[in-house]
Amino acid sequence: MTRSLCRIPLVFLTLLISQMWAYAYDTVRYPIIPKPAQLIAGSGVFKITPQTKIVVDNQHEAFKKTTAVLIRQVQETAGFRLGYAKDQKLNSISFLLDPAISNEEGYTLVINPSHIVVRYKAPVGIFWAIQTLRQLIPATEKKGVKSISLPAVKITDAPRFKYRGVLLDVARYYFPMDFIKKYIDVLSLYKINKFHIHLNDDQGWRMESKKYPKLHEIGAWRKETLVGHRTDVPEKFDGKPHGGYYTQKELKELVQYAQDRFVTIVPEIDVPGHSQAILAAYPQYGCLEDTTYQVSARWGVHNNILCPTADTFRFLEGVLTEVMEIFPGKYIHIGGDEVPKDRWKASAFCQDLIRKQDLKDEHGLQSYFISRVEQFLNSKGRAIIGWDEILEGGLAPNATVMSWRNEKGGIAAAKLKHEVIMTPSNYTYINMYQTRERNQEPFSNGGFTPLSKIYAYDPVPETLHAEEQKYIIGTQACLWTEYIPTPAIAEFMSFPRALALAEVGWTPVSHKNYEDFVKRLRINLPHLEKKKVNFSRLF
Ligand code: TNX
């Protein structure tokens, strides 16, 4: 060991030690989540006062609009409104373009007692820098203060992964738009940049469709809902209708709302399984004849899946065209999870199609199904994401895989040079219990994903070679809502666990430390209190 250390040039060693030293800063003074890639503590404070000016080198609307976020936040906190100046060195917050920053989302933030300088490559970098500033302003600051003090610091920051997501399942329960906006606002404070919205399932369809209106007229409503756990016997139902859907106008507004916070919405239309609500509206796209399907009142995996007919694909293309008109992001999630093959096995049409297309079996048919949908979306310039079951029977050529059952699917996909988002349920599902004493928590699915476990998760499996590891583009926390009927419970399950995931997705592994995270969290949580978020204290 000492011998090998001797071989390291002294300069390098000194540099290394000084770097380690520089990072051992006073966490309490900088309670930032996710922890920045590099932070060098400074002494003294900068005081934001009504005379402080904002200086932006780029007068392009996108840049000014983003800096305005800071003005709004200072106004909310202190009650005074900052103005712009063309050129002002002292008592200013300057935003300067720096093409040398390599990461699109990267920024540097230098707080000196006399002025603040933010360097950015793109507007998103400005926005993340402002979120960092926002967390440096104590949430406990009283309205009407004369100035806001920010601790001197030099931060050089950029994310570890480009995909840092949270999934909200609005199909099992309909959640009001106001709540979804509040949720996205919280995510953006912690630099989560993807909001995956699960728009349909056996229990409900949530997007208005102009072309196929029965989807929302019929598919959005179920007669009643199962009470208790799905495995309880005998089954009990609440006898109360439940449902709702989002109009296209509302969804477009949501897209804009998220975009203003640099969050991209990833819409999911889950097919060919989890489709019973679609079939309740349009039974002709199923494999059974003369059947009436119901929007399901039960949880669990359902047998009624879409039949891969030409009509079904035409229907899906129509629906996905509407989806693309609303959601401009690159990724469209097409589901592909938990597809029982019973209906396809029993269908003469499917068996014939398997032969005609020279497919091996029903798994091959699932690949055929997903690949056809992918081809259509690729032809429109979009990319698909699918759950890891889309590997079975062969992966569609350009698909990104969300590895949810464990990491195996993700590992296999990375080896095939496909992009991967790691969401193994045992580590990143936030619909599970957060303590061992279940009686103090809301009733849930089961499972156990405490804050510490999510925090410790590393999305890059050691079994992958460096070349293969590059295909892991990120990670995501998932909130499935079978047992989460209200926004209050959704918040309790999501926060602070989604914040742990935010740090997993952003912070270099070498800087992660759970005790330190919890310390920062305790100081940071009043920001959520202020937003009236019903976060959990069970950690
Ligand atoms: C599996 S995760 C599902 C969801 C459920 C979740 C929890 C995934 C791709 N599929 O449909 O909500 O388990 O029960």
Position 8 scores a pLDDT of: 58
Half-sphere exposure of 329 (CA within 13 A, CB side): 25
In one-letter notation, the amino acid at residue 429 is Y
Query: DSSP states of 168-207 as a string?
Result: EE-SSS---HHHHHHHHHHHHHTT--EEEEE-EETTEE-B
Measured by CA distance, the residue closest to atom 4 of ligand 1 is: 480
Query: DSSP states of 326-374 as a string?
Result: H--SSEEEEE--S---HHHHH-HHHHHHHHHTT--SHHHHHHHHHHHHH
pTM of this prediction?
0.95
What separation in Å is there between the alpha carbon of 480 and the centre of ligand 1? 7
For residues 353 and 361, what is the distance between their CA atoms, to the nearest angstrom? Answer: 10
Position 282 scores a pLDDT of: 98
Under a CB-based contact definition with an 8 Å cutoff, are residues 73 and 531 in contact?
no
Which residues face 165 on adjacent strands? Answer: 194, 476
Ligand 1 nearest-atom number relative to CA 402: 9
Ligand 1 nearest-atom number relative to CA 482: 12
Structure tokens at 258: 């998220």
What separation in Å is there between the alpha carbon of 63 and the centre of ligand 1? 40
In terms of Cα–Cα distance, which of 177, 168, 231 is closest to 201?
168
Measured by CA distance, the residue closest to atom 9 of ligand 1 is: 337
Ligand 1 nearest-atom number relative to CA 404: 2
Under a CB-based contact definition with an 8 Å cutoff, are residues 429 and 406 in contact?
no
* Burial class, 42, CB count within 10 angstroms (exposed 0-12 / middle 13-18 / buried 19+): middle
Beta pairing, strands 163-169 & 472-479 = parallel
- What radius of gyration, in Å, describes the C-alpha atoms of the chain? 25
For residues 141 and 254, what is the distance between their CA atoms, to the nearest angstrom? Answer: 30
Position 21 scores a pLDDT of: 46
Q: What is the mean pLDDT of each run of 10 residues along the chain (539 residues)?
A: 53 57 71 97 96 88 86 90 92 95 98 97 96 92 86 98 98 98 98 99 98 98 98 97 98 98 98 98 94 96 98 98 98 98 98 98 98 98 98 97 98 98 98 94 96 98 98 98 98 98 98 97 96 97
Measured by CA distance, the residue closest to atom 8 of ligand 1 is: 337
Alpha carbon dihedral 169, 368, 310, 306, in 10-degree steps, equals: -40
Measured by CA distance, the residue closest to atom 7 of ligand 1 is: 480
Residues in contact with 440: Cβ distance below 8 Å, sequence separation at least 6, in sequence order: 538
What separation in Å is there between the alpha carbon of 347 and the centre of ligand 1? 26
Ligand 1 nearest-atom number relative to CA 198: 11
What separation in Å is there between the alpha carbon of 273 and the centre of ligand 1? 11
Position 9 scores a pLDDT of: 63
For residues 511 and 500, what is the distance between their CA atoms, to the nearest angstrom? Answer: 13
What separation in Å is there between the alpha carbon of 422 and the centre of ligand 1? 15
What separation in Å is there between the alpha carbon of 101 and the centre of ligand 1? 39
Q: Where does ligand 1 bind, in terms of residues with CB under 6 Å? A: 337-338, 387, 404, 445, 480, 482
Residues in contact with 255: Cβ distance below 8 Å, sequence separation at least 6, in sequence order: 265, 326, 327, 328
For residues 334 and 313, what is the distance between their CA atoms, to the nearest angstrom? Answer: 13
Residue among 480, 481, 483, 493 whose CB has most ligand 1 atoms within 8 A, to mutate: 480
Measured by CA distance, the residue closest to atom 2 of ligand 1 is: 404
What separation in Å is there between the alpha carbon of 479 and the centre of ligand 1? 9
Ligand 1 nearest-atom number relative to CA 169: 12
Structure tokens at 235: 């089954």
For residues 524 and 374, what is the distance between their CA atoms, to the nearest angstrom? Answer: 42
Measured by CA distance, the residue closest to atom 10 of ligand 1 is: 337
Query: DSSP states of 52-121 as a string?
Result: -EEEES---HHHHHHHHHHHHHHHHHHS---EE-SS--TTEEEEEE-TT--STT-EEEEE-SS-EEEEES
- Cα dist from 55 to 52, 91, 129, 427, whole Å: 10, 10, 15, 43
Residue among 173, 302, 337 whose CB has most ligand 1 atoms within 8 A, to mutate: 337
Active site residues: 201, 274, 338
Neighbours of 333 (CB within 10 A): 23
Position 10 scores a pLDDT of: 65
Give the CA angle between residues 404, 189, 383 to the nearest 5°. Answer: 40
Measured by CA distance, the residue closest to atom 6 of ligand 1 is: 480
What separation in Å is there between the alpha carbon of 484 and the centre of ligand 1? 13
Ligand 1 nearest-atom number relative to CA 335: 9
